[in-house]
Amino acid sequence: MRTISGHHLARALGDWSRADASGPAYVRLASAVRMLIFDGRLPLEARLPGERELATALGVSRTTVTAAYDLLRDSGYARSRQGSGTRTTLPETGGTDPAGGYFAPFAPDGSAVVDLAHAAPEAPLQALNEAHAAATEQLPRFLTSSGYNVFGLPELRRAVADRFTARGLPTTPEQIFIASGAQHAFSMVLSLLVHPGDRVLIDHPTYPNAIDAIHRAAARAVPVALTDDGWDIEAFAASVRQTAPNLAYLVPDFNNPTGHLADDDVRRALAIPLRRGRTLTVVDETLAELPLGPADGEPPAPFATYVDNGLTITIGTMSKTLWGGLRVGWIRAEASIIRRLAAVRASFDISSPVLNQLIAVELLKRADDVLATRREDIRTRRDALMAAMGQALPEWRARTPCGGLVLWYDIGAPVSTRLVTEVERYGIRLAAGPRFGIDGAFERRLRLPYSLPVETLRHAVPIIARAYAAVADSTGHVTDGLGDLVA
Ligand SMILES: Cc1ncc(COP(=O)(O)O)c(C=O)c1O
């Protein structure tokens, strides 16, 4: 069980006391703790600091902390046992509402919540139905076996290998390992290659679940800041040289959340220190097949083209291009690593579902057609979200990403966590900026996905603007023209 110190929690809570000026301090404190639980910055079953310790760290009275802990317990977000302190947890049925409406947990079935915390589109219905029908026809030939296949179905390994080859990276099926999504793939790679205390170099900001997986492996994330233009080659090279990381984790294709794409020159330059340091590198290609333009010519070559095969492990998924609900992803690496991954997988989940893998094979046959339509839809959504945001919150700034699924806004004030807490009261779920970094960075940032339909995005924008106005009002971070934004 992890114990959270008062100092650590106080830092994660940031400027919590102004989260909602209208409520009493203990409600605001409880709400801010709950937000940290929701977005994963406080793990479940973590032991919260003692009341006196937290009161000292926050500079508030012990009564405030006691009342906040009581409220968290009453609403199902904490529980106490004699001798083991107060621990974080989640309510079994979504929680009660003891604070007169302040707690508005998501419905257990996810209904009535606009999910802008995840960046993933819906399934391409017709193609998925066709793929499902074709896969079901083939299923009987697998039913006489156990259905366990730790490396993945041979036909899917071949289909994935062929797609790499078509993208200019010759690949054999022996170099492919099928996983249940990219997150599962990364967790298995960490389990195989990283030991407690190891250093894992990351882009900063980066994909939050990757940060969590690194921490779960008891490794240390070594952040290298991305600039407004992307990778800072000199800083990256210096970091590789000075910290000698045991592993690097990079998202060079429409980086989540910044949307940056490393072009061929940048890839070549990043590869030099990695080769020199013999640094094993995981390249997360989750968004690589979602270029949206404006067209910049040919897409860059896969990152593995620039670093010796033995040093690069590429992970990918169908989640963003085809459908996240399939839970099909992959790892491309040297055949010797693929063989060692098989031993690791046994303790994770043994093997991926046969039917889903067959559907994946069928979808990959149709991928080029499906992707052409999908990119067009997503481009329309991106442009619609940017237009609506430009009207509602003109002072917020974001680059137009040339691919991927998210906008990374500079919201002008360090209020991201408070804004996310506020917006949740209106049934919209967002991920606060600090989810994408370590040590509380990115409070001035908010990630907004454009993966949902245009009407949903247009519904969400004025609500976000209204919540921002409320937060800005209560914190004094008022921006010009804000009054005009509140309908
Ligand atoms: C960069 C990145 N890696 C991994 C994932 C997880 O993908 P999957 O659904 O395949 O586990 C995501 C999903 O948002 C992502 O953006």
pLDDT at 476: 65
- List, by residue range, all CATH 3.90.1150.10 domains of the chain: 114-121+369-485
Ligand 1 centroid vs 320 CA: distance in angstroms? Answer: 8
The residue to which tokens 């009581």 are assigned: 70
Strand pairing partners for 177?
331
Cβ contacts of 17 within 8 Å, gap of 6 or more: 25, 28, 29, 58, 60
Give yes or no for residue 208 CB within 6 A of ligand 1: no
Please give the structure tokens belonging to residue 40: 């994963």
Cis peptide before 401 (omega within 30 of 0): no
Ligand 1 centroid vs 286 CA: distance in angstroms? Answer: 6
Ligand 1 centroid vs 256 CA: distance in angstroms? Answer: 9
Residues 101 and 95: their CA atoms lie apart, in Å, by 11
Q: State pLDDT tens for residues 1-36.
A: 688 999 999 988 887 876 544 578 898 898 888 888
Ligand 1 centroid vs 371 CA: distance in angstroms? Answer: 18
Please give the structure tokens belonging to residue 403: 């691919």
pLDDT at 38: 73
> What's the rounded mean pLDDT across residues 132-143?
97
pLDDT at 100: 33
- Closest-CA residue to 395 (of 316, 466, 485, 315): 485
List the residue whose alpha carbon is closest to atom 2 of ligand 1.
Answer: 286
List the residue whose alpha carbon is closest to atom 16 of ligand 1.
Answer: 256
Residues 371 and 156: their CA atoms lie apart, in Å, by 18
Which atom of ligand 1 is nearest the CA belonging to 118? 14
For residue 252, the one-letter residue type is P
Options 1.10.10.10, 3.30.470.20, 3.40.30.10, 3.40.50.620; CATH of 6-88: 1.10.10.10
Q: To the nearest whole number, what is the mean pLDDT of the chain? A: 90
**Lowest model confidence (mean pLDDT) among 208-212, 326-330, 471-475:** 471-475
Residues 267 and 261: their CA atoms lie apart, in Å, by 10
Q: What top-level class would CATH report for the domain 125-365?
A: alpha beta
- Residue 477 pLDDT level (bands cut at 50, 70, 90): low
Residues 261 and 90: their CA atoms lie apart, in Å, by 37
DSSP 8-state symbol, 206 = -
- List, by residue range, all CATH 1.10.10.10 domains of the chain: 6-88
Instruction: Provide DSSP, 316-382.
Output: EESIIIIIGGG--EEEE--HHHHHHHHHHHTTTTSS--HHHHHHHHHHHHTHHHHHHHHHHHHHHHH
Please give the structure tokens belonging to residue 168: 């200019």
Whether 411 and 398 have beta carbons less than 8 Å apart is answered as no
Report the SS3 class of residue 44.
coil
Q: How many CB atoms lie within 10 A of CB 109?
A: 8
- Residue 162 pLDDT level (bands cut at 50, 70, 90): very high
pLDDT at 424: 85
| CATH hierarchy code of domain 114-121+369-485 | 3.90.1150.10
Give yes or no for residue 183 CB within 6 A of ligand 1: yes
Q: How many CA atoms lie within 13 A of 242 on its CB side?
A: 9
Q: State pLDDT tens for residues 274-319.
A: 999 999 999 999 999 999 987 657 889 999 999 987 899 999 999 9
Q: State pLDDT tens for residues 370-398.
A: 999 999 999 999 999 999 999 999 999 99
Whether 193 and 246 have beta carbons less than 8 Å apart is answered as yes
- List, by residue range, all CATH 3.40.640.10 domains of the chain: 125-365
DSSP 8-state symbol, 230 = E
List the residue whose alpha carbon is closest to atom 14 of ligand 1.
Answer: 119
Q: State pLDDT tens for residues 120-131.
A: 999 999 999 999
Residues 169 and 187: their CA atoms lie apart, in Å, by 24
Ligand 1 centroid vs 370 CA: distance in angstroms? Answer: 19
Residues written for the chain: 487
In the predicted model, is pLDDT for residue 107 greater than 60?
Answer: no
- Residue 112 pLDDT level (bands cut at 50, 70, 90): low
